[in-house]
Amino acid sequence: MDKNERLARWAGWSEDKDSVLYDWRDPRGEGVSESFTHYPWPRFTDSLNACFKWLLPNLNDYQVEYRYVLGFLHVWEIHECSEATKRVEYYTQSMDSASEALCEAILALIENNGQS
C-alpha cells in the first residue's frame, strides 16, 4: 500500500464492494470510479490543498504547526492536545515539498498510534 492509499484510508476513503458503478467511496460517501480517475483519491503527497481538504479535518485533537526554515526546508510538527500532562510530539521535515512533509508527519502519527 503506497503512502497516498494509507492516508486516504485513514481519512475515511473505503472500497465499495456492493456498487456496480463505483470502486471507492470518499469520506462524504460519494462514489468514485477508479477506472475513471485511475487513482480514486487525491495525491496527497503532491497537493497541499488535498491535505488541507481531506487530512487536516481528522487532526482536530492535535495542534499542527508549520515552519519554512532557511528558505528551503519545510517543517511540520504535530502535537497531541490533551489535558493530561503528557505531550506527545511527532515531527518531520522535508526539503521536497510542504505537502510531502505534512504527509510524512501524519504517517508517523498513524504508525505510532497503530492505525492503518
pLDDT band at 56 (very low <50, low <70, confident <90, very high): very high
Question: What does the domain layout of the chain look like in residue ranges?
Answer: 3-112
**CA distance linking residue 25 with residue 31, whole number of Å:** 5
Residues 10-43 have pLDDT tens digits of 988 877 666 554 566 666 666 665 554 556 778 8
**CA distance linking residue 20 with residue 81, whole number of Å:** 42
Does residue 73 have a pLDDT over 70? yes
pLDDT of residue 13: 80
Residues 80-110 have pLDDT tens digits of 766 665 666 666 777 778 999 999 999 988 8
- E strands, 1-116, are 14-15, 24-25, 31-32, 62-69, 73-80, 89-94
Name the fold adopted by 3-112. Answer: Double Stranded RNA Binding Domain (3.30.160)
